[in-house]
Amino acid sequence: MTWKAEAPPVYPSATLSGRIGGVLRLAALAAVTVSLFLLYLLVRGVERLTGGTLHRSVRGLWGRLSLRACGLRLVVRGTCMPHGGAIVANHSSWIDIFTLMAAAPVNFVSKSEVRGWPGIGTVAAYTGTMFIERRQSAARRQTAEMRARIVSGQLLCFFPEGTSTDGLRVLPFKSSLFAVFLEPELHETVWVQPVSVIYQPVAGAPEMLYGWWGDMDFGRHMWDIVCLSRGGQVQVVFHPPHRAADFSDRKRLARVCGEEVAEGMARARAGLSPVAPAPAPVSATP
């Protein structure tokens, strides 16, 4: 399930100043992650008893500071829908987590295997990630959980390409994921918002720096980013959301969303403005 259309790139070695900066950025990233994760747990624990949404602001701050530590400036275009629903975005690598946390109060949807990954699985579980099992027997329960989360106001974030990429293109969206939006429990209530995520390295840095290949070493990839990414930018483009009830065919919904995400990337990489990103609807019927 990893994208291997080309061989993984070999990036140039960082300069001495780049390596020193990389060490400092790694230290900053570790400090931000530990401190804000602990703050998130504290705030979330209190809000489970008293209510509130401050934990979403903590996650947003966590994402923004982490992006800064990775040498990236965030630019957001368009408007994230203000109610619960599904966000479908292209997927480059692990850094998308920081990017989308910084851009919107999302809860990620991930394969169940991630729950068991050391460190990452623990953080994902405590920050509200929804883990999906591929067993048919779990489908009904998972659809019910998804609906409950959406009705409660959560934005569930999916990556319909089903794999990471080099960050320079958008692969066709797999329609199987969109079938859940047409289930009777969700069809009349869920809105689906396409989102383009475009990484733009600083001039002279590798163009595919933020992409991920399945046999890459995670530590090495993080090291390359913190050393070579100084002055980079990531654009997040929110396209107008779609009401699932307006689609009777999951393949058409997947195709429309995928085409909008791909066009958003193409326009951004060409230096063009997004195509009139409209504001999201102000309300949704639960």
The predicted structure's pLDDT at residue 276 = 53
Contact indicator for 269, 194 with CB cutoff of 8 Å: no
Least confident of 104-118, 200-214, 261-275: 104-118
- pLDDT interval class at 197 (50, 70, 90): very high
Given a cut of 80, whether residue 256 has pLDDT beyond it is yes
The predicted structure's pLDDT at residue 286 = 40
Least confident of 7-11, 23-27, 127-131: 7-11
Over residues 117-147, the pLDDT tens digits come to 766 777 888 888 888 887 777 778 888 888 8
Instruction: For 144, list phi and psi in degrees, rounded to 5.
Output: -65, -40
Least confident of 26-35, 106-115, 173-182, 217-226: 106-115
Q: Which two tokens stand for residue 178?
A: 């969109």
Q: Average model confidence (pLDDT) for the chain?
A: 87
Kindly report the pTM of this predicted structure. Answer: 0.89
- Residue of 206, 194, 225 lying closest to 94 (CA atoms): 225
Q: Rounded to whole angstroms, how far apart are CA atoms 78 and 194?
A: 11
Given a cut of 90, whether residue 77 has pLDDT beyond it is yes
Average pLDDT over every residue of 255-277: 87
Supply the CATH classification number for the domain 16-269.
Answer: 3.40.1130
Q: Which two tokens stand for residue 263?
A: 């066009």
What percent of the chain clears pLDDT 90, i.e. is strictly above it? 53
- pLDDT interval class at 162 (50, 70, 90): confident
Given a cut of 60, whether residue 24 has pLDDT beyond it is yes
More confident residue, 217 or 1: 217
Average pLDDT over every residue of 156-166: 91
Given a cut of 50, whether residue 1 has pLDDT beyond it is no
Q: Write the DSSP assignment of 192-233 as a string of letters.
A: EEEEEEEEEPPTTS-TTTT---TTS-HHHHHHHHHHH-TTEE
Angle (CA) 278-89-149 rounded to 5° is 90
The predicted structure's pLDDT at residue 271 = 85
The predicted structure's pLDDT at residue 39 = 95
Average pLDDT over every residue of 33-53: 91
What percent of the chain clears pLDDT 70, i.e. is strictly above it? 92
Q: Where exactly are the structural domains of the chain?
A: 16-269
Contact indicator for 236, 98 with CB cutoff of 8 Å: no
Q: Rounded to whole angstroms, how far apart are CA atoms 245 and 139?
A: 20
- pLDDT interval class at 74 (50, 70, 90): very high
Q: Which residues of 53-164 form beta strands (DSSP E)?
A: 72-77, 85-89, 106-111, 130-132, 155-158
